[in-house]
Amino acid sequence: MSDARLAIIGGTGLTRLRDLEITRREVMHTPYGEPSGPLTYGQYHGHEVIFLPRHGAQHTIPPHQVNYRANLWALRNAGVETVLAIAAVGGITVEMAPGVIAMPDQIIDYTWSRFHTFFEGDGMEGVTHVDMTYPYSQELRETLIAASRELGLGAVEQGTYAATQGPRLETAAEIDRLERDGCDLVGMTGMPETALARELELRYACCAVVANWAAGRSKGLITMDDIARNLEIGMARVKQLLPEVIGQ
């Protein structure tokens, strides 16, 4: 990948990057409030990376209370041009089995009442509408897909992400509706993060890790134990993928 500054936003199951040789931590204050934690700078397999755990270092910030604007603004302010977002999701369609990693190419926003834009408030010179036809950076997605193929990780290379409000999981009927809408994956953090990244002109893509079959897509209920077990499998794949992606 180019030398443009790269950030990794870690999701549930990735609050820490084990191979990151940390050089410094920077506490950032932004016009939008505090990010999820200090930006952690370090060398990752020979390349400079900034890491930010979306839910905080202790995984205490629920999806609807993440300060997405502060996180992305802080990264942009630190000179970041490329953001790779790691996110735990539920699998809706048949290929999205627990433990699988996937690179969505579309997203539908079902969240509400989150601060979802930088383009509001005093001092605006006009109304801005950013293009979101293709919400993720195709260039970064291709890098992820190439790395996954190289390693034989069997990633699902496209799919539509449903961003729900949380923190509760969905009902089976809600998942049926999401599938009728064309969604393959469901998670709680994809929006407004994806849209805010576009507003800041960041090169942004998501590597989703399927933690569970979405509600009603398996016989039993969704348990936290199952989620933890599947995330471990999926995150092991992510940890193989990241050095390959960053080295490209």
The answer to whether residue 230 forms part of the interface with ligand HPA (CB under 6 A) is: no
Q: CA 38, CA 74: separation in Å to the nearest integer? A: 9
The answer to whether residue 67 forms part of the interface with ligand HPA (CB under 6 A) is: no
Q: For the beta carbon of residue 164, count every other beta carbon within 10 angstroms.
A: 28
- What is the maximum alpha-carbon separation in the chain? 54
In the complex, least distance from residue 187 CB atom to ligand HPA, rounded to whole angstroms: 5
In the complex, least distance from residue 34 CB atom to ligand HPA, rounded to whole angstroms: 24
The answer to whether residue 207 forms part of the interface with ligand HPA (CB under 6 A) is: no
* Residue 50 vs 207, nearer CB to ligand HPA: 207
Count of residues that bind ligand HPA according to CB under 6 A: 12
Bridge partners (DSSP) of residue 80 are 5
Out of 105, 109, 170, 199, name the contact with ligand HPA by CB under 6 A.
170
Q: CA 221, CA 159: separation in Å to the nearest integer? A: 24
Out of 14, 86, 103, 188, name the contact with ligand HPA by CB under 6 A.
188
SS3 134: coil
* Residue 41 vs 213, nearer CB to ligand HPA: 213
The answer to whether residue 191 forms part of the interface with ligand HPA (CB under 6 A) is: no
Q: For the beta carbon of residue 200, count every other beta carbon within 10 angstroms.
A: 19
Stretch that binds ligand HPA, among 41-49, 130-138, 143-151, 211-219 (CB under 6 A): 211-219
Stretch that binds ligand HPA, among 29-37, 96-104, 130-138, 206-214 (CB under 6 A): 206-214
Specify whether the CB–CB gap between 72 and 198 falls below 8 A: no
Q: CA 211, CA 213: separation in Å to the nearest integer? A: 7
**DSSP E strands: which ranges in 61-202?**
80-91, 101-102, 106-109, 160-163, 185-187
Q: Which residue of the chain is nearest ligand HPA when measured via CB? A: 90
Q: Which of 118, 124, 90 is nearest to 193 (CA)?
A: 118
The answer to whether residue 89 forms part of the interface with ligand HPA (CB under 6 A) is: yes
SS3 206: strand
* Residue 156 vs 186, nearer CB to ligand HPA: 186
Please give the residue ranges that form the binding site for ligand HPA (CB under 6 A): 88-90, 164, 169-170, 186-188, 211-212, 214
